């Protein structure tokens, strides 16, 4: 048996993804202050996972908040004075970003191996299901709006060229103004908190290397595998197995980056014709 979010037909939900970048292995100084300030603004307001994204073989990292919202709750929180004051007061080299993904429930599916509030299951009611899952293509089959004629195919004939993430800062506020339709946003997570010592030992001896190995392969060969970006991180504290797959309309993606490293998020592609942006410096 698996559990999944019990969405109401026609509803939508929001992934609010926020990041604060820092140099070195741990945040310090101003960046630590920004992390603590933002965490105080979002703590208790949404179901979320706090994720540390250590950039592989690079002298910098990112603190990420992956949060789940009902649209009206997010709109109220984002428009609140404390949140707007924080965002509007950021300096041109702040290293702070946000990506807001609005998801139609007919274009998403999720599954968790336990009756837990991991991921989108924490947004509201859950339900149990037991349909057999036997191949990767089943994920598309489980999207309510997918049909034989509507397969959510990518409009891109080939992957755009990516600007690699670097220590170079793009000063000012960059707003993404165009992204292609049918980007697939995938979340996969592992929660080891309820595993017995024997089960945990067996997992790390027999499975962990295989699981992390293929994920590293995807990240190291993103373009070849049709991936725009891969963010592998670890949770601070608790982070059972779960996955979420959502197909996004271009108009439902909003992203803004304030003084972030070149190659961050959608900025990695705004030198192509696939993603467009505008940057305003103070």
d(CA 249, CA 258): 24
pLDDT at 175: 99
Domains of the chain: 2-280 (3.30.70.100)
Categorize the per-residue pLDDT at 216 as very low, low, confident or very high, splitting at 50, 70 and 90: confident
d(CA 119, CA 66): 9
- Write the DSSP string, 191-254: --TT--HHHHHHHHHHTHHHHHHHHHHHHHTTTTTT-S-----EESS---EEEEEEEE-GGGEE
Categorize the per-residue pLDDT at 235 as very low, low, confident or very high, splitting at 50, 70 and 90: low
SS3 state of residue 121: helix
pLDDT tens, position by position, 153-184: 999 999 999 999 999 999 999 999 999 999 99
% of the chain beyond a pLDDT of 90: 54
When pLDDT is averaged across residues 255-266 and rounded to a whole number, the result is 98
pLDDT tens, position by position, 44-84: 999 888 888 876 677 899 999 999 999 999 999 999 999 99
pLDDT at 238: 42
User: Is a pLDDT exceeding 70 seen at residue 240?
Assistant: no
Angle value at C-alpha 189, between 214 and 59, nearest 5 degrees: 70
Q: What is the mean pLDDT of the chain?
A: 87
pLDDT tens, position by position, 90-140: 999 999 999 999 999 999 887 777 767 777 877 878 777 776 666 666 778
Categorize the per-residue pLDDT at 257 as very low, low, confident or very high, splitting at 50, 70 and 90: very high
């Amino acid at each position: 048996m698996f559990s999944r979010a019990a969405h109401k037909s026609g509803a939508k939900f929001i992934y609010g993804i926020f990041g604060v970048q820092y140099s070195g292995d741990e945040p310090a100084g101003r960046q630590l202050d920004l992390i603590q300030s933002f965490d105080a603004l979002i703590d208790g307001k949404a179901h979320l996972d706090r994720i540390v994204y250590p950039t592989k073989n690079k002298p910098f990292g990112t603190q990420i908040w992956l949060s789940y919202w009902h649209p009206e709750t997010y709109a109220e929180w984002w428009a609140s004075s404390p949140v707007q004051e924080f965002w509007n007061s950021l300096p041109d080299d702040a290293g702070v970003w946000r990506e807001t993904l609005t998801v139609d429930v007919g274009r998403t599916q999720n599954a968790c191996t336990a009756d837990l509030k991991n991921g989108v299951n924490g947004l509201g009611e859950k339900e149990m299901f037991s349909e057999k899952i036997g191949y990767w293509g089943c994920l598309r089959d489980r999207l309510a709006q997918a049909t034989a004629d509507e397969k959510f195919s990518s409009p891109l004939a080939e992957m755009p060229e990516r600007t690699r993430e670097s220590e170079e800062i793009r000063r000012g506020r960059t707003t993404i103004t165009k992204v292609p339709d049918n980007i697939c946003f995938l979340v996969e997570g592992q929660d080891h908190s309820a595993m017995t010592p024997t089960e945990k030992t067996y997992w790390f001896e027999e499975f962990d290397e295989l699981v992390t190995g293929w994920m590293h392969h995807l990240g190291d060969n993103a373009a070849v595998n049709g991936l725009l970006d891969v963010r592998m991180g670890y949770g601070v504290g608790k982070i059972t197995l779960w996955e979420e797959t959502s197909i996004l309309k271009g108009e439902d993606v909003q992203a803004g980056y304030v003084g972030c490293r070149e190659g961050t998020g959608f900025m990695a592609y705004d030198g192509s014709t696939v993603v467009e942006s505008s940057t305003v410096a103070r």
